[in-house]
Amino acid sequence: MPLNNTIAKMAYNEHQADRIRARLKHIKELKELKMMGGLIFMVNEKMCVGIDIDKKTSHDRLMVRVGKLAYMDLLNKKGSRKMDFTGKPMRGFLFIEPEGFDMEEDLDFWIEKALEFNTLL
């Protein structure tokens, strides 16, 4: 298979995955799983945060598990939208578009929110 086809089929951006890894490196119970068309970071055996590429826009997309209590407030943040794979939104999970996590402090914010919820599980 030609290299350019391999790149086109890649389900996530390795640079974005490295940005997340750097923020989670202190976590003892951390696993990475390729699933849901991207890369998911499991913290304490629970889905926490992930990255994939939106097939419709070809843009990177962050997936964040924030829980149902914080969901509505965080849905109003820059770049945030409902996580919807099947036509039905997954409450407690958000997609974050690039404008919502390109800046380092924005990515820090979302990782912090995901880790906060993870401690409640």
Residue 24 has a pLDDT of 97
CATH topology of domain 11-120: Aspartate Aminotransferase, domain 1 (3.90.1150)
pLDDT for the residue numbered 10: 59
CA distance 53 to 71: 22
Q: Would you give per-residue pLDDT tens digits along the chain (121 residues)?
A: 344 444 445 589 999 999 999 999 999 999 999 987 799 999 999 999 999 999 889 999 999 999 999 999 999 999 999 998 778 888 899 999 999 999 999 999 999 999 999 999 8
> Virtual CA dihedral for 6, 30, 20, 16, nearest 10 degrees?
0
- What are the domain boundaries of the chain? 11-120
